Amino acid sequence: MHAINYESPKTVADAVKLLAAHGEKARPLVGGTDLIIQLRAGTRRPEYVVDVKHIPEMSRISFSMQHGLHLGAAVPCIEIYENADMRRYYPGLTEAAHLIGSLQIQSRASVGGNLCNGSPAGDATPALIALGAKARVVGPKGERTVPVETFITAPGRTVLQPGELLVELLIDAPAKHSSDAYLRFIPRNEMDIAVVGVGAALTLDLADDRVVDARIALGAVGPTPIFAAEASKSLVGKKLDAAAIENAGRLATSVATPIDDMRGTAEFRRHIVGVLTRRVLTIAADRARQNEQR
């Protein structure tokens, strides 16, 4: 591993100043579970590493029914899993965070880091897309919010420009009778990269069990995570029965563009998209029926 300069700013402004000053030669560090591996392999060779995990604004979980969720980009996955509000109001995202590596990795890795790594197979990203999450980005030109479904632009690439930093993820508070779920398929029992991942969020009208809102997102079946817009739209206004769920699974499968590799064929992956879509919709619906918030 080559020599690097290490910086540990205590404010977002100072972190942005450092990143902007060094441009492409600088990389932010949270847990380092991806970056340190890349440094050792030589796939990334920054001259400056800017450790942002000690910035309070980036290391907090803040939730209220009025303001929704503010999830700092540096919050370790284990803190998400252990947070009562996360488990209650965002169980799918919590499940996704709890699938990122081992418990030891989860004590370092963050959902924000998982997103910024830009992997099409990241577990957190489909769960975030399903919830309609927005990324709050701060840079030398000010701040902006970016829908998570457009955040990753290619494998390993994101919308972040030199000097910009993902500070937090913003998610609305759940409506009454809404919830989410995330599932993935992997060859091993645990600690593997998703062959397919699917997240879904639903809001139901229990008077006739019709869908008020739906979002379905796919991971590991394209060059970027995919928001399955038509599959999601197909459920809205419909009674959530077996036929509607089956159709949503078919539509989700139609937008998947997987490849053949050592972990699975494209044909197999498309089949699994349909299976997991049906399963996550069923789980999210069961949870939504029990959610009395608002």
Q: In the numeric block, which tokens belong to residue 17? A: 């100043």
Residue 86 amino acid letter: M
CB atoms within 10 A of CB 236: 13
Listed in sequence order, the residues at least 6 apart from 83 whose beta carbon sits closer than 8 Å to its beta carbon are 61, 94
**40 alpha carbon, distance to own chain's centre:** 26
Predicted TM-score (pTM) of the model is 0.94
- What is the share, in percent, of the chain residues with pLDDT greater than 90? 80
How does residue 88 score in pLDDT terms, banded at 50, 70 and 90? very high
| Residue range 216-245, pLDDT digits in tens | 999 999 999 999 999 999 999 999 999 999
Mean of per-residue pLDDT scores for the chain: 93
Give mean pLDDT, residues 16-44. Answer: 85
Q: Which residue is listed with tokens 């399963």? A: 279
Check if the beta carbon of residue 183 is closer than 8 Å to that of residue 218. Answer: no
d(CA 236, CA 254): 18
Phi, psi of 173 (to 5 degrees): -65, 145
Domains identified in the chain and CATH numbers: 5-51 (3.30.43.10), 56-171 (3.30.465.10), 178-290 (3.30.390.50)
Check if the beta carbon of residue 120 is closer than 8 Å to that of residue 149. Answer: no
